[in-house]
Structure 1
Amino acid sequence: MPPRVVLVGPMGAGKTTVAELLGRAWDLPVRDTDADIVAGTGREISDIFVESGEDHFRDLEADAVTTALAEHDGVLALGGGAVMRAESRELLTGVPVVFLRVGLSDAVKRVGLGAGRPLLLGNVRSRIKALLDERTPIYESVATHVVDTDGRTPDEVAAEIQELLR
């Protein structure tokens, strides 16, 4: 049985927080592929990027997505870059996917200076803008629903998703 819902979106969209709220509301287990990678490797994501490179991390991420989609029937939050691989996007076909859309200014406020976020080394604002520009069409292409998060609390976002997926 596929997950009840899969949350996708960029860093700062609130995927992990909203997933926890949905899990509590629906009394379902919550899983996060980034947490799966950390647990499976015993290394923080930023350390994997620095020590092994982004390509290695993306391989781990694709494996984590495949495993989570096969095993988990609760609420699943995917890492921000998880939908960049075609094989991961294909696995989302027929699964309820909600894209948590966040604008540049809210994303920058939520992420802060990017501590522990290896893709944000350098100018945080310009890196987030580039990632949003690159990834938003891909998030939209896999989404069953799009929920805007700007200026909203995680509780408000979770409530909208509950309404959409009644």
Structure 2
Amino acid sequence: MAPRAVLVGPPGAGKTTVGRLLAERLGCAFRDTDEDVEAAAGRSVADVFVEDGEARFRELERAAVAGALVGHDGVLALGGGAVLDPGTRADLAGHRVAFLDVGIADAAPRIGFGAARPLLVGNPRAQWTRLMQARRPLYEEVATVTVQTGGVDADEVARRVAAALGEGS
């Protein structure tokens, strides 16, 4: 069993929204590893970060991704930082991975740079820009396709991802 499509990208790229629409389009289930982490921890991602620290969150995330890659056959959305783990990047080899690329102008209104984004505390725009600069090469490394999400609605992004993966138009 393997996911039909795996979505990666930074906060605000639309992984969850596009993932749900893509799963509907493909007639399969959707799964979000952030939701898996929350279920395992019994609290929100933000609470795990604050109460246990980023290292603990990354452990839970790594386990969630590894399990989903072998236990889910629909559309899978990974948390924005999941690609930081070398084991996760290795596990993604051979999977159909779509990098949902977005610029800060389109990401900002989608995520609101609020408290639910613990890595964006302080100067959220500067933090997001730093995150993206550090992670872009990793997203590109694991991706089999890249789809721009800026300036188009989520349904159109889902259509483009499906087409790029050879799943219709």
Question: TM class by shorter-chain length?
Answer: over 0.9
Q: CA RMSD in A?
A: 0.8
What's 2:109 paired with? 109
What's 1:43 paired with? 43
Matched, 1:143 2:156: no
What's 1:165 paired with? 165
What's 2:70 paired with? 70
Distance 2:153 2:10 in 1: 17
Distance 1:137 1:109 in 2: 24
Distance 1:49 1:35 in 2: 14
* Unaligned ranges ≥5, structure 2: none
Structure 1 residue 114 displacement after superposition: 2.1
- Are the aligned partners of 1:104 and 1:132 in contact in 2 as well (CA < 8 Å)? no
- Are the aligned partners of 2:145 and 2:165 in contact in 1 as well (CA < 8 Å)? no
- Are the aligned partners of 1:7 and 1:15 in contact in 2 as well (CA < 8 Å)? yes
2:10 maps to a residue whose letter is: P
Structure 1 length as normaliser, TM-score? 0.98
Structure 1 residue 27 displacement after superposition: 1.0
Q: Deviation digits for residues 101-154 of structure 1, max 9, x if unmatched? A: 001211122111323110011011101101111101110010000000111100
Name the % identity. 53
Structure 2 length as normaliser, TM-score? 0.96
- Are the aligned partners of 1:32 and 1:77 in contact in 2 as well (CA < 8 Å)? yes
Query: How many residues get paired?
Result: 166
